[in-house]
């Protein structure tokens, strides 16, 4: 297949009322490709599709179709059709009329011109419509169903009518927004195979949206993993599964063990209290996230692996057992077809190429803030007590709240801008909205013995923290940071603030 770009999104942003929903979206889609947008609810999948279809305009950026900007082309003139998240078929029309609906409204160039030389438009003839509808129904294997009422069809058949309706206009690109969302699991699996067949047969470019990672892995040539309006990773299903670029992708795509680790040298990484051989190259002493898939952990006799672990739970999953092992205080999930008893001590081995090392996304929280006249730190999201004596060695705060240097010079830091750094282990959260800084938990990833949690405030300031406690996404919490844990640096020289 020629690697011809049919669609390109360049630096696309979308805001709704000043709230950013899609950020810096860059993607090209090749002709005939099956591309899937995968991500959790609310991450901007539908919004991105709607911009491609023309129902929304990007706040910034360009969308190119066959190399040309399509911003001025209205939805119905784009060679793009959509199967919507809730595929609204007309219940009072039969299959034929549902598929023919758009065609009956459509006007095409008649080949004639009026007195002004403008082309005269005409409706399609009955025969033309007939032919198109029958072709479309044939493509989705519903030839015999023309006169059936919609509500006599199964979910899967209705789904195929929705697809027939979208392809009857012979679009170059078909957008499918969670088209299988309404179906039960068995039907979903069948329809996935059918969709894949249909994609091959039609030769149209498919852009598909789902939050189901298995569906994305089964169907796609290319997966675009999204979170919170941003692309996290673009790649083949194999790339994304084997080489996730960060902890979010690893956690979202399949079961995985994720740990904090440290690079020892070019071939070794330290995690789970042990030294493992690895193949990824990172700078020495770099703090990294390490992913090990449960199916890549090998169980062997005690003392024969890299480390020993104890089996604490066992669940039969049909083909394999899923075990939870404890390595000291860390959990390790393992999938294995051999049966072992709970409480057995076993040896653990992981092949070097099965240890996936990723850049740590967050090493610390960094903010820009300023000081108020009571020496509080003011961030976008609220006020925190802080220790300003760290800004000048040997200083103290006098009764009036001024900073006094060891040489007796006095500084007034009211409104001084500061860079703020807070470690991931230095933030506490508490249920409820009592605190000065309040936010919502937007993400939680398990890292073997603790969770990495992201709290987002209404001002869109993020607090990333490590905690051993279990929280839930969407919990409303108050953020607390002890005074001595807040590291401050002035953005200007301190002498700028010397009191005259």
Ligand X SMILES: Nc1ncnc2c1ncn2[C@@H]1O[C@H](COP(=O)(O)OP(=O)(O)OP(=O)(O)O)[C@@H](O)[C@H]1O
Residue 67 buriedness (CB in 10 A; 0-12 / 13-18 / 19+): exposed
Q: Are 82 and 49 in contact (CB under 8 A)?
A: yes
Q: Which is nearer to Mg ion, 40 or 435 (CB)?
A: 40
The DSSP H or E segment spanning 53 is helix 45-53
Q: How many CB atoms lie within 10 A of CB 215?
A: 20
- Residue given tokens 């299959």 in the structure block: 95
Bridge partners (DSSP) listed for residue 259: 290
| From ligand X, Mg ion, none, interface partner of 448 (C-beta below 5 to 8 A by class) | none
Rounded to the nearest whole angstrom, what is the least distance from the CB of residue 87 to Mg ion in the complex? 13
Using CA atoms, how far residue 116 sits from 113, 229, 367, 441, in Å, is: 8, 48, 64, 63
* Local structure of 223: helix, strand or coil: strand
| From ligand X, Mg ion, none, interface partner of 356 (C-beta below 5 to 8 A by class) | none
Using CA atoms, how far residue 246 sits from 231, 271, 462, in Å, is: 12, 16, 18
Closest CA to 208 of 35, 437, 400: 35
Rounded to the nearest whole angstrom, what is the least distance from the CB of residue 112 to Mg ion in the complex? 43
Phi-psi region at 11: left, alpha or beta (left = phi > 0; alpha = psi -120 to 50): left
| From ligand X, Mg ion, none, interface partner of 273 (C-beta below 5 to 8 A by class) | none
| From Mg ion, ligand X, none, interface partner of 211 (C-beta below 5 to 8 A by class) | ligand X
Rounded to the nearest whole angstrom, what is the least distance from the CB of residue 91 to ligand X in the complex? 23
What does the binding site for ligand X look like in residue numbers (CB under 6 A)? 16, 21, 39, 41-47, 211
Rounded to the nearest whole angstrom, what is the least distance from the CB of residue 25 to ligand X in the complex? 11
Residues 6 or more apart from 60 whose CB is under 8 A from it? Answer: 11, 12, 13
Task: Return d(Cα 465, Cα 437) in angstroms, integer.
Answer: 14
What does the binding site for Mg ion look like in residue numbers (CB under 5 A)? 46
CA-based torsion, 183, 189, 194, 197: positive or negative: positive
| From Mg ion, ligand X, none, interface partner of 47 (C-beta below 5 to 8 A by class) | ligand X
| From Mg ion, ligand X, none, interface partner of 192 (C-beta below 5 to 8 A by class) | none
Q: Are 21 and 15 in contact (CB under 8 A)?
A: yes
Q: Which is nearer to ligand X, 210 or 354 (CB)?
A: 210
Token pair recorded at residue 77:
């003139």
Using CA atoms, how far residue 410 sits from 18, 374, 466, 499, in Å, is: 42, 15, 39, 6
Closest CA to 29 of 66, 58, 62, 59: 66
Rounded to the nearest whole angstrom, what is the least distance from the CB of residue 463 to ligand X in the complex? 20
| From Mg ion, ligand X, none, interface partner of 16 (C-beta below 5 to 8 A by class) | ligand X
Q: Which is nearer to Mg ion, 46 or 98 (CB)?
A: 46
Q: Are 219 and 207 in contact (CB under 8 A)?
A: no
Rounded to the nearest whole angstrom, what is the least distance from the CB of residue 425 to ligand X in the complex? 30
Rounded to the nearest whole angstrom, what is the least distance from the CB of residue 132 to ligand X in the complex? 30
| From ligand X, Mg ion, none, interface partner of 44 (C-beta below 5 to 8 A by class) | ligand X
Rounded to the nearest whole angstrom, what is the least distance from the CB of residue 281 to ligand X in the complex? 35
Q: Which is nearer to ligand X, 45 or 78 (CB)?
A: 45
| From ligand X, Mg ion, none, interface partner of 42 (C-beta below 5 to 8 A by class) | ligand X
Q: Which is nearer to ligand X, 42 or 171 (CB)?
A: 42
Rounded to the nearest whole angstrom, what is the least distance from the CB of residue 18 to ligand X in the complex? 10
């Amino acid at each position: 297949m020629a690697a011809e770009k049919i669609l390109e999104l360049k630096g696309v942003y979308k805001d709704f009322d000043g709230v950013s929903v899609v950020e810096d979206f860059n993607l090209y889609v090749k002709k005939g490709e099956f591309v899937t947008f995968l991500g959790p609810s609310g991450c901007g999948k539908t919004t991105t599709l709607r911009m491609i279809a023309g129902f929304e305009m990007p706040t910034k950026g360009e969308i190119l179709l066959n190399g040309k900007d399509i911003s001025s082309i209205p939805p119905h003139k784009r060679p793009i059709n959509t199967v919507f998240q809730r595929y609204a078929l007309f219940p009072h029309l039969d299959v034929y009329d549902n598929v023919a609906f758009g065609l009956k409204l459509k006007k095409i160039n008649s080949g004639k011109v009026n007195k002004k030389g403008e082309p005269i438009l005409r409706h399609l003839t009955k025969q033309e419509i007939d032919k198109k509808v029958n072709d479309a129904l044939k493509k989705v294997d519903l030839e015999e169903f023309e006169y059936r009422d919609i509500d006599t069809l199964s979910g899967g058949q209705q789904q195929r009518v929705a697809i027939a309706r979208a392809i009857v206009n012979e679009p170059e690109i078909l957008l499918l927004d969670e088209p299988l969302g309404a179906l039960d699991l068995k039907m979903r699996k069948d329809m996935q195979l059918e969709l894949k067949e249909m994609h091959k047969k039609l030769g149209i470019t498919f852009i598909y949206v789902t939050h189901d990672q298995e569906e994305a892995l089964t169907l796609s040539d290319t997966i675009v993993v999204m979170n919170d309006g941003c692309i996290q990773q673009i790649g083949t299903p194999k790339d994304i599964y084997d080489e996730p670029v960060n902890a979010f992708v690893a956690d979202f795509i399949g079961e995985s063990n994720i740990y904090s680790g440290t690079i020892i040298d070019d071939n070794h990484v330290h995690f789970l209290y042990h030294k493992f051989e690895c193949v990824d190259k990172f700078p020495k002493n770099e703090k990294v996230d390490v992913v090990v898939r449960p199916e890549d952990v090998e169980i062997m006799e005690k003392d024969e692996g890299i480390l020993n672990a104890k089996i604490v739970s066992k669940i039969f999953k049909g083909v394999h057992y899923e075990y939870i092992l404890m390595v000291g205080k860390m959990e390790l999930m393992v999938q294995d077809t051999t049966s072992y008893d709970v409480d057995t001590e076993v040896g653990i081995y992981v092949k070097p190429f099965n240890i996936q090392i990723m850049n740590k996304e967050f090493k610390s929280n960094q903010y820009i803030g300023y000081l108020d006249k009571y020496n509080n730190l003011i961030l976008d999201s609220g006020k925190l007590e802080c220790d300003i004596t760290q800004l000048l060695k040997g200083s103290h705060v006098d009764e009036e709240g001024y900073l006094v240097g060891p040489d007796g010079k006095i500084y007034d830091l009211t409104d001084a801008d500061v860079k703020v750094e807070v470690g991931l282990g230095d933030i506490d959260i508490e249920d409820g909205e009592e605190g000065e800084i309040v936010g919502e938990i937007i993400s939680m990833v398990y890292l073997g013995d603790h969770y990495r949690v992201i709290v987002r405030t209404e001002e869109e300031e993020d607090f990333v923290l490590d905690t051993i406690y279990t929280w839930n996404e969407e919990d409303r919490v108050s953020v607390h940071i002890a005074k001595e844990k807040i590291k401050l640096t002035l953005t200007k020289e301190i002498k700028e603030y010397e009191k005259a």
